Amino acid sequence: MRKATLVALVVFAANRPNAQTQIDGVWQGQIQPGVFWTIELKRDGSTLTGAVNDTIGDPVEIYEGDMSRNTVTFKATSQFGQPTITFTGTISGNEIAFTREIQGQGPPGPIPAIMSPTGVPQFTVERVAGGQAPVIARGTPVPRRLIVYDRQGKVMQSLGEADNYNWPQFSPDGTKLVARVRGHLWVFNLSTGRRTRLTSPPWLAFGPAWSADGRQMTYFSWRQQSAGGVYRKASDGSGAEEKLYESERGASVIIRDLSLDGRWLSFDSGNVLFALPLAGDRKAIQLAPGESSMRRAHFSPDGRFLAYESDETGRYEVFVRPFDSATGKFSTAGEKWQISKGGGGMAYWRRDGKELIYLGSDGGVRAVDVRTTSAFTVGTPHLLFRVPDTVPPLAACFCLGEKSLGAVSPDGQRFAFSVPQIPPRNEVTVASGTLSKYAGTYKLFDADVKIAIEDGRLMATGIDTIGGDLAARDRAQLVAGSDTSFFVKDATAEIDFVSDPSGNVTHFLFYQSGVPTKAPRK
């Protein structure tokens, strides 16, 4: 799987009038082979704003920043909640030399290399000359645009500048959209485009869910000692937050939905479904112990059914089952209905309960008529439109790891997608004889990737093992940038084929976020 590392937004105050005057601009340094740090800084009165990007992962806002003469300091929280990293930079002409100190202990499992005690403790960035673009590492994740579409797939509006938007969710009245940006939740007014901060550093937040009246927001956040919890706060950002539930150490809780009556919250953890009662002792209840991997459960408007995803057929599909609000589990006497065919996810109920909308594995947004009064009935799905090719298919669940990238408005008329903005890339024509040398089976991340020629194109099968923006992409076209270098069509990953002195292809190097992984030929 790909490694995650820190990307941080730098926002700090210059408290002294004699602060560095030449700080504005772009700075960059290569801290490890293929891994670049790019830092943008801009003075605005007595405040400096900017961003730090280390090639991999999403931005994370920093806090407690300060600038004094030729020294800058700031803190950032790991995207896993702990540890806290303090960065100190010394400015000398066209260079800034950074050191970093780590406090606290992260949750079980791998910690991002740049943030761990064994990572790079020091690095230097240099000023990028005016008008010169910073170096972009191979396979680097690209910014995304938050775009709202209608039922025909026509763009209605684009919110803000390109950034790392994820977890969009429409408000119950459809006038607002909450989204996670650089580790924190912001609420966008869809009429004005203006946004209001909901959560702030140091603790990161994700998985927002609106209350039925739109006045409160529930979300998950990592906290001290690597413990995570479900919190609730006024959706306008005012007042203090309330802790509703604490997860086990190191376990993520991916909030999916709140029932309209406010009694239940659905979440998944490790592809296991849970229902959390919001009254009483608030103990999470596992919905279907011992069954297949399940995720993304949404309550029907009347609270009698749950739409969710399960891989029981061998790939994730959308299912519906009756929900027993007395026990917090699926009804034992209830039926089960498979809604999607050929892969599907991101299922949302229309507020009147008469339609389910989901994303198919082919990138098609589909709607199906349903009825929840008395017995459940379901019609035949029909295509509304297809999402842009650059949107990762990801098992048709519309998520990137644990980051949801799409949402449907309560009335089923609008769709918000976080769409990657992949820049234009040069394509060349490679002779069929050269392409045929690359055909074969390669071992990548302990799984087989098969390369074959189809209609004069190089195709990769089994690419779903790769992760990142290629996760669950069963097949992918490889486009030539040169005779030996290829990039994945509509994705950021790249591949270089390597031959021995005799011209025999021995392996390929897979580039994702700048760092290559060797895939030997079998």
CATH number for the domain that contains residue 437: 2.40.128.50
Q: Among residues 70, 93, 127, which one ends one of the domains?
A: 127
Domain that residue 159 falls in:
144-420
Looking at residue 90, its pLDDT comes to 93
361 and 406 co-located in one domain: yes
Identify the CATH number of the domain in which residue 229 sits. Answer: 2.120.10.30
> Is 136 domain-assigned?
no
What string of H, E and C letters represents the secondary structure of 259-273? CCCCCEEEEECCCCE
Number of domains in the chain: 3
> Is 132 domain-assigned?
no
Looking at residue 218, its pLDDT comes to 97
Widest pairwise Cα distance in the chain: 74
266 and 363 co-located in one domain: yes
For the chain, the residue count is: 522
184 and 267 co-located in one domain: yes
> Is 2 domain-assigned?
no
> Is 426 domain-assigned?
no
What pTM was estimated for this model as a whole? 0.85
Low-confidence residues of the chain: pLDDT under 50: 1-20, 106-118, 394-402, 465-468, 470-472
Cα distances (angstroms) measured from residue 147 to each of 156, 187, 408, 433: 8, 15, 12, 42
88 and 186 co-located in one domain: no
123 and 182 co-located in one domain: no
294 and 174 co-located in one domain: yes
Please state, as a whole number, how many other Cβ atoms lie within 10 Å of the Cβ of residue 431.
8
Cα distances (angstroms) measured from residue 114 to each of 56, 59, 181, 201, 278: 10, 14, 21, 20, 38
Looking at residue 46, its pLDDT comes to 61
Cα distances (angstroms) measured from residue 56 to each of 38, 140, 331, 501: 11, 7, 43, 34
Identify each DSSP E strand in 216-286 by its residue range. Answer: 216-222, 228-234, 242-246, 254-258, 264-268, 273-277, 285-286
> Is 1 domain-assigned?
no
Q: Among residues 420, 442, 476, which one ends one of the domains?
A: 420
> Is 495 domain-assigned?
yes
273 and 194 co-located in one domain: yes
Q: Among residues 376, 394, 420, which one ends one of the domains?
A: 420
What string of H, E and C letters represents the secondary structure of 290-334? CCCCEEEEEECCCCCEEEEEECCCCCCEEEEEEEECCCCEECCCC
**Structural contact between residues 20 and 67, judged by C-beta atoms closer than 8 angstroms:** yes
> Is 390 domain-assigned?
yes
Give which of 103, 92, 145, 115 is closest to 37, Cα–Cα: 115
pLDDT tens, position by position, 371-429: 998 889 999 999 999 998 888 764 333 333 345 789 999 999 999 999 988 888 889 99
358 and 479 co-located in one domain: no
> Is 381 domain-assigned?
yes
Structure tokens at 203: 């603790």
293 and 383 co-located in one domain: yes
407 and 441 co-located in one domain: no
342 and 405 co-located in one domain: yes
234 and 347 co-located in one domain: yes
